[in-house]
Amino acid sequence: MAGTKPVSGARAPSRRPTVRAVAAGSVGNLVEWYEFGVYGFLATVLAERFFAPAGGGSAEALVRTYASFALAFFFRPLGAVLFGRLGDRWGRRPVLIAVVALMSGTTTLIGALPTYATAGALAPWLLTFLRAVQGLAAGGEFGGAVTVLTEFAPPGRRGLYGAWQSFTVALGLLCGAGVAALTATALTGSQLASWGWRLPFLLALPLGLVALWLRAGLTETPSFLAHADAPGARTARLGWGALLLAAARVTGWSAAGYTFLVVLPSYLQVSLHAGVRRALLSAAVANAGFAAAILPAGLLSDRVGRRPVLFAGAVLVTVTALPLLDVLQDPAASGVAKGWALAAAGAVVGLMAGPGPALLAETFPTGVRWAGLGLAYALANAVFSGCAGLIIPEAVRRTGNPDVPAYYAAAACAVSALALLARPTGGTGPTDSARSAENGRGKGGGDRCW
């Protein structure tokens, strides 16, 4: 699949990664998750503008809004395969440029869409279509970003460099929460509902231009250049066993991340009757805890291995999800206690998000790395994360049980914990030890997948 030389114009890089390479590899995630965060944080407003006129109350409109949100996730696996195959065949740089252009363009167009009051029943369909295209691009973005970051990483630092992908996810969510909160604070409720909701989406245009500039100067990765010239470069194949195991291992990271970091504002508003500003502030606190834990977790995985750190995070979510949610539900709990609970919820997700990218990258050989890790992550997101916003509000509405988010996150992390205890039985290319040796081993254990 990957025997073709990279496109002309890709400059031969040195082995040492540059700041620009790290920035170019991770900036697309900031754009992607900024938009996903804004959509999740403003879901109640979008429900009113695009879905409430279709009939039903606010809860039903919110479910329709998250159905559109979930649909985009089911286009992620398709995007992972499409852009992954192109990136593994033609090179990392040109495909990453195309992906970020598509993402930022569709996000900007969402901010310019007519609402139901203007376009009638066409409005929700236009929104859903753009979300689907955005999901297609996002499916290619993750695999490409992680591939670039880990293939540029120096020996013994793939965990840390891969963690930058997750860190920019946190930055994107924080930016989304901050911009949404600032917009909601600066405008009146009627202004926010009328036109103010458009502003956060339109800001994706300048963000996308910066991302394009960074990626235009990106060099090709050493691993891809070496692989393109190697004999037998087309022999790598994706194995379904390794693919499904990799997806199961990051299921908890995906599901808990969306539950605590994206769905939380809508849950607080609809189920706990919190105001918009308080809900967005809560999301910002949770995402701050998430961001603070990511890079240390990635660095720790370079010393002790990926699986122990991921396993610890999955177990912690499983046993603490319900107690943390109980604190948020307790009217007698102080604001400080609730803030610490939110930060802790984000931090345990960060413990999984730090080593997760490197673990996925080390699962697949160079010739199918982008497609393999992108597809594994997209499958986990499509099944458990994209549906979180759809399943959780509907389950709470039907059962009347406000603890549903905790059960959802805990169950997904229990699945990941079990998958992390298993070793793959079939190969997709080089052995695990060979993949670890590909970038060398540093002090304290180097690039240990296990």
Indicate whether 5 pLDDT > 70: no
pLDDT tens-digit series, residues 264-277: 777 777 677 777 67
pLDDT of residue 109: 94
Give the C-alpha separation, 90 to 9, whole Å: 12
Phi, psi of 97 (to 5 degrees): -65, -45
Average pLDDT over every residue of 8-19: 49
Give the C-alpha separation, 439 to 361, whole Å: 12
Give the C-alpha separation, 246 to 204, whole Å: 31
Using alpha carbons, list the distances in angstroms from residue 173 to 144, 236, 262, 403. Answer: 20, 35, 8, 24
pLDDT tens-digit series, residues 236-262: 677 788 899 999 999 999 899 888 887
Indicate whether 339 pLDDT > 50: yes
Q: Residue 215 in 3-state DSSP?
A: helix
Lowest model confidence (mean pLDDT) among 167-171, 204-208, 389-393, 442-446:
442-446
**Terminal Cα distance for the chain, rounded:** 27
Indicate whether 66 pLDDT > 60: yes
Query: Higher model confidence: residue 392 or residue 296?
Result: 296
13 within domain boundaries? no
99 within domain boundaries? yes
Percentage of the chain exceeding pLDDT 70: 83
Residue 404: how many other CB atoms lie within 10 Å: 22
Task: Give the domain range for residue 403.
Answer: 19-228+239-425
Residue type present at position 275: G
pLDDT of residue 423: 74
- CATH at 216: 1.20.1250.20
* Both tokens assigned to 80: 């992972």
pLDDT of residue 32: 84
Q: How many domains does the chain have?
A: 1
Query: What's this model's pTM, rounded to 2 decimal places?
Result: 0.77
Query: Higher model confidence: residue 57 or residue 218?
Result: 218
450 within domain boundaries? no
pLDDT of residue 60: 64
pLDDT of residue 297: 97
pLDDT of residue 236: 63
pLDDT of residue 233: 52
Give the C-alpha separation, 242 to 263, whole Å: 30
441 within domain boundaries? no
Residue 130: how many other CB atoms lie within 10 Å: 21
431 within domain boundaries? no
Lowest model confidence (mean pLDDT) among 2-11, 20-29, 88-97, 137-146:
2-11
HSE toward the beta carbon, residue 438, CA cutoff 13 A:
28
Give the C-alpha separation, 375 to 251, whole Å: 13
Asked if 142 contacts 87 with a C-beta cutoff of 8 angstroms, the reply is no
Residue type present at position 308: P
434 within domain boundaries? no
444 within domain boundaries? no
Task: Give the CA dihedral 182, 187, 189, 194, nearest 10 degrees.
Answer: -110
pLDDT tens-digit series, residues 404-422: 889 999 999 999 999 999 8
329 within domain boundaries? yes
